[in-house]
Amino acid sequence: MLGEGGASKVYLAEQLNIQRKCAIKCIDKRQEAYGLLKNEYMLIKQLEHVGIPRIYDVEEDDKNLYIIEEYICGMTLVEFLNSNSMTEKESLDVILQLCNIIEYLHTVNDEPIIYQDLKPDNIIICNNNLVKLIDFGSAITKSELKNQKVRGITANFAAPELFTNKSIDHRADIYSIGKILEYIIKNNSINISNSTNLIQIIKGCLEESPSDRFPNIKSVISNIHEKITEISSNHLSKTICVLGSQRRIGTTYTSLIVAKALERIGHTVLVRENNSNTSFDHLLERNNIKLGGDNSYMIKGIHLQPASIEGNQLENYQYIVEDCGEINSERIPKADFYIIVMGTREWELCYTEKLIVRLNKVTNSLYVFNLTTDTMFSQIKYVLGKRCCIQMPYIKNPFKLDKGFIKEIMEGLDKLKYQI
């Protein structure tokens, strides 16, 4: 059993002849909500959109109504944001998919289907951030609104006219789109104070009077496309190359920390394994992470690409962090910025000293010293002179960074006049 509600039970099943998983919802005909639930599924059965669960069949007997529908594997938007962070662009991508679903509902028939109850619990984020909209219990056509009362709406996300006797139309869904966008931005701590276009999108959705809002979903979509184009043009991919003075000095560890720090302040980041250590394969296997559509893996908000995978849509990322491992050749990889990982223990210093001399003329470099004492770090800073360096503490989980250390990393990069 997948779940149980007041009026129904949901079971996971498989159609053996085509090896397709499906969900079977069993609805008790004695339930007061039976009629409404049946109407809901008869409505969905007519719809065909990638963002709406497909109804394969509807059967019934004397006691129950059986809905055989597409099995949706994913998390609600609430669950997703509790365990993942999203950049401004990723947030807009989710809203854009949601808008496309709502536009379909508003235009599929001669009169629009008004969803009415857009809220985070009804939005499912599947693999590769594909958005699905579920629970059409409140969906209704405009003509039906004349004969039925508004039902099953959520106060924090519903348009104000749904709580009054005022005229209701498709613009009620536009208001909810604005509330969902506002919710995503708030939960990701995205600073929009300097983003005039984004502020205008939210304001255009959330006007109190429907006549002052965007006239239709197509207008919202157009404005979102403009904002995504603006973000993409302002953020060409830059490469950060992480190099180590010796094997097992912590380049993978450092790459993940730097990537997470960048992701936490709103950037899209891909970490690529550019060495033969196969550390990424072990990490992904332990966490049972599946390959995404752009040949990368997503873990804790970070995109990873093991050395065993080739090809990626690099234009999707603002920063590419290359985990290059130990420097074992005369040629330094080309990059916009370098992070050099070194040690200060007695058995590490010979490697550190050789590398400092070798990289004397390499600019745009930040020197990172792993697990070193304050005394040794002070001595190293004295030797390095004006070169930028930071002391890397022990961090048990590189995917969970405190704000103080994120600030320290950003300040280290900032000293190099590197545009983060």
Structure confidence by residue, pLDDT tens digits, 233-275 = 665 678 899 988 888 888 888 898 888 888 877 778 889 888 8
> pLDDT band at residue 179, thresholds of 50, 70 and 90?
very high
Question: Could you give the CA distance from residue 420 to residue 405 in angstroms, rounded to a whole number?
Answer: 16
Q: State the CB neighbour count (10 A cutoff) for residue 198.
A: 22
Q: Per residue in 382-399, pLDDT tens?
A: 777 767 878 877 777 777
Question: Could you give the CA distance from residue 111 to residue 142 in angstroms, rounded to a whole number?
Answer: 7
Choice between 415 and 296, residue whose per-residue pLDDT is larger = 296
Residue 125: the pLDDT is 93
Q: Per residue in 71-112, pLDDT tens?
A: 888 899 999 998 887 878 888 999 999 999 999 999 987 778
**Beta-bridge mates of residue 11:** 24
pLDDT at 137 exceeding the cut of 50: yes
Q: Per residue in 298-307, pLDDT tens?
A: 777 778 888 7
Question: Could you give the CA distance from residue 255 to residue 339 in angstroms, rounded to a whole number?
Answer: 9
Choice between 56 and 111, residue whose per-residue pLDDT is larger = 56
**Beta-bridge mates of residue 368:** 341, 390
Query: What's the pTM value of the predicted model, to 2 decimals?
Result: 0.58
Backbone dihedral region of 401: left (phi > 0), alpha (psi from -120 to 50 degrees) or beta? beta
Secondary structure class of 4 (helix, strand, coil)? strand
> pLDDT band at residue 143, thresholds of 50, 70 and 90?
confident
Q: State the CB neighbour count (10 A cutoff) for residue 10.
A: 17
**Is the distance from CB of 105 to CB of 113 less than 8 angstroms?**
yes
- Across the range 169-187, mean pLDDT stands at 93
Question: Could you give the CA distance from residue 257 to residue 249 in angstroms, rounded to a whole number?
Answer: 14
pLDDT at 206 exceeding the cut of 50: yes
**Is the distance from CB of 244 to CB of 119 less than 8 angstroms?**
no
pLDDT at 420 exceeding the cut of 50: no
**Beta-bridge mates of residue 23:** 12, 69
pLDDT at 310 exceeding the cut of 80: no
pLDDT at 335 exceeding the cut of 90: no
**Is the distance from CB of 172 to CB of 161 less than 8 angstroms?**
yes
Rounded to 10°, the helix 196-205/217-234 angle is 170
What value does the mean pLDDT of the chain take?
81
- Write the DSSP assignment of 121-188 as a string of letters: GGEEE-GGG-EEE---TT-EEHHHHTTS---S--TTTS-GGGGSSS---THHHHHHHHHHHHHHHHHT
Length of the chain: 420
Q: Which domains does the chain have, with CATH numbers?
A: 3-70 (3.30.200.20), 75-234 (1.10.510.10), 238-414 (3.40.50.300)
Question: Could you give the CA distance from residue 242 to residue 332 in angstroms, rounded to a whole number?
Answer: 11
Residue 208: the pLDDT is 93
